[in-house]
């Protein structure tokens, strides 16, 4: 059973606009969340993370929001650029439980249209 879900397989956005990628999780033990970006023929690369003690983390154009009560997180990219076109994976772990394993969502393919 998928514990981390990304219900939108794809998203298209105009260059300069905001991209919002969504992720839901079911396991209440998850307390650390990450976003990875993946280009074709490359491995996933770490983008941004957030601990459950926060509800927002920002790094340049990338912001992750966490809503623990809804078990939902989102990644905002502002402004979107053509180089942001990639597959984005949401991942979660139960860090306080001592688990180093990551559970990944199925990914959302973002296309930024010039």
Partner 1 sequence: DAEITQSPRHKITETGRQVTLACHQTWNHNNMFWYRQDLGHGLRLIHYSYGVQDTNKGEVSDGYSVSRSNTEDLPLTLESAASSQTSVYFCASSPELAKNIQYFGAGTRLSVL
Q: Which residues contribute to the site for partner 1 (CB under 8 A)?
A: 2, 4, 6, 32, 34, 36, 41-46, 49, 89, 93, 95, 100-107
Smallest distance, Å, CB 112 to partner 1?
Answer: 22
CB-CB neighbours of 80 under 10 Å:
23
Between 77 and 107, name the residue whose CB sits nearer to partner 1: 107
For the chain, helix, strand, coil in percent to 5 are: 5, 55, 40
Between 15 and 109, name the residue whose CB sits nearer to partner 1: 109
Eight-state DSSP code of residue 68: T
């Amino acid at each position: 059973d998928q514990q981390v879900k990304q219900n939108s397989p794809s998203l298209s956005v105009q260059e300069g606009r905001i991209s919002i990628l969504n992720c839901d999780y079911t396991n209440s033990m998850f307390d650390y969340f990450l976003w990875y970006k993946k280009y074709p023929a490359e491995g996933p690369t770490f983008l941004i993370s957030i601990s459950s003690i926060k509800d927002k983390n920002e790094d340049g154009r990338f912001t992750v929001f966490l809503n623990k009560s809804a078990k939902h997180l989102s990644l905002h990219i502002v402004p979107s650029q053509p180089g942001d076109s990639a597959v984005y994976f949401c991942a979660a772990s139960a860090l306080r439980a001592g688990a180093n394993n990551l559970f990944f969502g199925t990914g959302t393919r973002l296309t930024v249209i010039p």
